[in-house]
Chain A
Amino acid sequence: MGGPNENGNSGASDRRRKRLSEKQTMLVQKISDGTVIDHIAAGKALSVLRLLGNPQARGDTVALVMNVSSSKMKRKDIVKVEGVEISEEQVQKLALIAPQASVNIIRSYRVVDKKNAVPPKLLSGVLNCNNPTCVSVKEKDSVSPIFSLAEISPLSYQCKYCGRKLAEQDILSQLG
């Protein structure tokens, strides 16, 4: 029972941040089982929820905390979903919408797994090229679009086939 709480903090070195974070997290009640996604850039919680397939529409309990202060990010959003554990594929996509997000999987009120949403260096079949004459668009039935990470901040990916870049806004509009 000595594991970290659902926000994943465990050390004593950042007690102040922990207290602040817990205070904000307590704006909504703790979840017993499910997923807590913290450190989402402010304003992107709804995009994250869409990425998760709008679990509230399926009747799952969802909590959104938006625009709370954060020592790391100034302002951030938090999403909690009761009874749903995020998949690896969703974590990969989450990294494209909220590159700094941290994901905690909760079971019996304890964090049992912790994942960081790190934008992958290579993306296959996740994003589509927005160049209408790119071969990955023209031959989309037989070619999987492949992108390489061009920049972390602001996030951008470059199409392997035509060299065009997808900017953060393009990525968000495809996934969010």
Chain B
Amino acid sequence: MECILAREGEQMRRSGWSRRDVINILDFSRSDLESLFELAGKISDRPNSIRRSLNEKIVATAFFEASTRTRLSFTTAALKLGGKVIDLSPEASSVMKGESLPDTVRMLESYSDLIVIRHPSEGAALLASEISESPVINGGDGSQHHPTQAMLDLFTITKLKGHIDGLNYAIVGDTRYARTAASLLYGLSKFKPKKVYLVSPESLQPRIEIKTKIDELGLRTEKLEDLEEIIPEIDVIYLTRIQKERFPDVMEYEKVRGSYEITRNLIVKAKRGSIVLHPLPRTNELPSEVDTLPNAAYMKQAEWGVPMRMAILELVIGGAKG
């Protein structure tokens, strides 16, 4: 059992994951992602086969923004792989004294083998990766990227639907500021979805640079305001929270607050076998009355965050010489 991970991980490291920064899902090929899903699948199906491949390795987490799932799933993943975790708490560190991000990253690099960073500024993880010799994983940078969430989302779809290609998707909610939505769109562009609907009020549609990029990548999308119009044909309903903290103007947020909420009555009209995903945390866009429907897959999605992050850590630094 133990050698499964060792063998799979070694093969994939040779294919290009070893010591690689994970900043933007667009940096990864379809083949890279499929290899990752295969390994994450093996870890989730056979948790006892885990090799402690991070033995003697230290993972640094530096979350300059609040996080529950990303931080804890990376921490759990590192510990399950036999690694150790150090955590920078910005509010209790020299960041509060005005230390620059580059200086903070230089310290983290010298203390650890890999850095997981979340930061409110777009480009912060890319900047960290330019400074650090140790691999950097982007745990979310402002409204721009959240690559490991998109990898988890696509993995969940693969697990529950068997494939990503040929399905109809509805990405519902804040596609303007939600980095999870942007990264999922970029991730979907590596596959061949049948149709991707962007369901939100006009003011929450993707920013121009996201729309331009997905158009260039050939991802077919269609804007829509009402999920009910298309729900019978959708295979994957992906909800996002309105990112209140990213709105430059509170008045703009107030205009769209509560502009979309799904209900149990709406989801029961969905296609048989369709799934509802959400990166969480949720607010009123996804009421708990949906939780008991067979389509509700978001808790499973969150649970699989651990095997997904284990697979990422295993591929990037598991057994690799530091």
Contact = CB atoms under 8 A, between A and B. Distances in A.
A133 B177 CA distance: 12
Which of B102, B103, B122, B143 counts the most A-chain CB atoms under 10 A from its CB?
Answer: B122
Given A158-B209, A164-B209, A131 B101 contact: no
A159 interface: yes
Given A163-B144, A164-B209, A165-B208, A139 B122 contact: no
Which of A135, A136, A162 counts the most B-chain CB atoms under 10 A from its CB?
Answer: A135
Contacts of B127: 135, 139, 143, 161
Nearest to A165: B209
A135 B100 CA distance: 11
A149 to B, nearest CB: 15
A91 to B, nearest CB: 28
Interface in B120-157: 120-124, 126-127, 141-144
A142 B209 contact: no
Contacts of B102: 139, 142-143
B119 interface: yes
Contact of B122 (A131, A141, A158): A131
A133 B121 contact: yes
Interface string B91-106: 0000000001111000
Given A135-B127, A138-B121, A139-B100, A163 B142 contact: no
Contacts of B144: 162-163
Interface string A162-174: 1111000000000
Interface in A99-117: none
A162 B100 contact: no
Contact of A133 (B101, B120, B209, B213): B120
A161 B122 contact: yes
A132 B101 CA distance: 16
Interface residues of A, number: 20
Interface in A121-156: 131-139, 141-143
B269 to A, nearest CB: 37
Which of B121, B213, B246 counts the most A-chain CB atoms under 10 A from its CB?
Answer: B121
B209 A135 contact: no
A162 B123 contact: yes
A161 B209 contact: no
Nearest to A131: B122
A160 interface: yes
Contact of A161 (B126, B208, B213, B246): B126
Contacts of A165: 208-209
Contacts of B141: 135
B122 A163 contact: yes
B208 A162 contact: no
Contacts of A136: 123
A108 to B, nearest CB: 48
Interface string B196-208: 0000000000001
B229 to A, nearest CB: 31
Given A160-B126, A161-B127, A135 B101 contact: yes
A26 B141 CA distance: 57
B124 A135 contact: yes
Interface in B231-249: 246, 248
A37 to B, nearest CB: 33
B123 A141 contact: no
Given A135-B101, A139-B101, 4 more contacts: A131-B122, A139-B102, A162-B122, A163-B144
Interface of B: 100-103, 119-124, 126-127, 141-144, 208-209, 213, 246, 248
18 contacts: A131-B122, A133-B120, A134-B122, A135-B121, A135-B122, A135-B123, A135-B124, A139-B101, A141-B100, A143-B102, A158-B209, A160-B123, A160-B126, A161-B127, A162-B123, A163-B144, A163-B209, A164-B209
